[in-house]
Amino acid sequence: MQRVLVMGSSGSGKSTFARRLSEMTGIPFVSLDALYWKPGWVASDSAEFGQRVAEVARQPRWVMDGNYTRYGAGELRRQSSDTVIWFDLPRRRCMLGIMRRIVGSYGRVRPEMAEGCPERFDLEFFRYVWTYRRQQRPKLLKYFQGLRTDQALVCFTERTQANDYLKQIALKQNQASAH
């Protein structure tokens, strides 16, 4: 596991998981949100964003958090990854996740966000998360169909599965260091 995509709905816990996985393994963490957004919540130009992501995707190791499959580097990221972690959580979990995040971080820039993009209340973002399973999930399923047989796809339908996965990684690391 050297190049890991962490994907799924906003509010699913994917950013927290990706940061924890990065910290545990020493593999650099990359936030696609931080690469995409400019200060003041200004979206990057598609070509500019694609170029930034391509530079990162060519690195030997990363844990990359975010979807952005429709942009130029979506294909490169899929081809370059060896593992895809997919948070396929129910809508209510994701909605609760973003509400908790907004309450806990309102007005502050979260670690995985671009500088100058403080947490805010955004109805369009709520709509995106509310319709994610119907509109975005089918796109991800299609994206996953392009994975090769040598690439792992790990799906979490509950956050406890993600926590258990991290515990297993920690256990393997402890066993490896004991030998």
Are 107 and 118 in contact, with CB atoms under 8 Å apart? yes
Residue 108 lies in a domain: yes
pLDDT bracket for residue 72 (50, 70, 90): low
Confidence (pLDDT) at 29: 97
Structural domain includes residue 130:
yes
Q: Which residues contact 118 (CB under 8 A, 6 or more apart)?
A: 106, 107, 108, 109
The band of 166, judged by pLDDT with boundaries at 50, 70 and 90, is: very high
CA 4 to CA 112: how far, in whole Å? Answer: 16
Angle at 53 between CA 85 and CA 11, to 5 degrees: 40
In this structure, is residue 166 part of a structural domain?
no
In a domain, 99, yes or no: yes
Q: Which pTM does this prediction carry?
A: 0.93
- 177, part of any domain: no
Question: What is the rounded distance in angstroms from the CA atom of residue 55 to the CA atom of residue 57?
Answer: 6
Q: Kindly report the CA angle at 142 between 137 and 147, in degrees rounded to 5?
A: 120
Of all residues in the chain, what percent carry a pLDDT higher than 70?
Answer: 98
In a domain, 7, yes or no: yes
Residue 73 has pLDDT above 90, yes or no: no
End-to-end CA distance of the chain: 20
- pLDDT, position 178: 75
Q: CA neighbours within 13 Å on the CB side: how many for 1? A: 23
**Whole-angstrom Cα distance, residue 105 to residue 32?**
19
Tens digit of each residue's pLDDT (9 = 90 or more) over 5-46: 999 999 999 999 999 999 999 999 999 999 999 999 999 998
Length of the chain (residues):
179
Is 167 inside any structural domain? no
Instruction: Please say whether the beta carbons of 13 and 129 come within 8 A.
Output: no
Give the structural domain span for 49. Answer: 3-157
Chain center to CA of 42: 20
Residue 129 pLDDT greater than 70, yes or no: yes
Confidence band for 74, pLDDT divided at 50, 70 and 90: confident
Question: Does a structural domain hold residue 113?
Answer: yes
DSSP state of 106: B
Mean pLDDT value of segment 33-61: 93
Residue reference for tokens 């399923």 = 141
Q: What is the CATH number of the domain that holds 15?
A: 3.40.50.300
In the chain, the number of structural domains is 1
